[in-house]
Amino acid sequence: MNQFEQLTQVIKERRSIFPPMYTGEKVSDEVVLELLENANWAPNHKKTEPWRFRIFKEEALQGLSDYLGDYYEKYTPQEAFSDKKLEKTRKKPLMCSHVVAICMQRDPEERLPEWEELSAVSCAVMNLWLSVSAKGLAGYWSSPKSILEANEFLQLNEGEKCLGLFYLGVPKEDIKVMGQRGDIKEKVKWM
């Protein structure tokens, strides 16, 4: 199989795999750093490298669980509140090996539009996600309002914002998530 075929396979096999589908087994910190090193090679205009990551592991996962649950309890209107949703919110981080807060550090000089830096961070996350898949691991990107408003909890720097959480774990062996896409020819217009 040539490089293009290998890349195509990894791209087509990448899926959102959720924490209830994880074994609970831990991924080594060295592997997490390898994954983030690949994220670090994302394209970015003016070489601003705007991606930043906060890694939750071990005891810090409990802190994240507490923060997310407390936020849900405090800000969810009574008519929308669900004990089941609260339990799920608190349990999710604890089912993971690591949770990565995906953050963006805005160029202090604002030499480029914010959307370009958001796009660069998205590219970094895609590199992360493809690397997770290539390693046979599981993950997904979630952006609940609670984490988008977590500047103090995440100890963000001036000009930094959180864009979501990337949940990471080892998938159960029997998990197969099938992908589906429409025909690319319906999405292309040749000029």
Q: Which residues fall within 8 angstroms of residue 22, CB to CB, at 6 or more apart?
A: 95, 96, 97, 138, 169, 170, 171, 172
User: What CA–CA distance (Å, rounded) separates 171 from 20?
Assistant: 9
For 119-166, what is each residue's pLDDT tens digit? Answer: 999 999 999 999 999 999 999 999 999 999 999 999 999 999 999 999
Please classify residue 178 by burial: count the beta carbons closer than 10 Å to its beta carbon, then call 0-12 exposed, 13-18 middle and 19+ buried.
Answer: exposed
Domains along the chain?
16-187 (3.40.109.10)
What's the pLDDT at 99? 98
Q: Which residues fall within 8 angstroms of residue 2, CB to CB, at 6 or more apart?
A: none
Q: Are 148 and 73 in contact (CB under 8 A)?
A: no
Cα 119 from chain centre:
14
What's the pLDDT at 10? 93
Q: What is the pTM of this model?
A: 0.94
What's the pLDDT at 174? 75
Residue ranges of the chain whose pLDDT lies below 70:
none
What's the pLDDT at 176? 78
Tokens of 4: 């293009």
What's the pLDDT at 4? 97
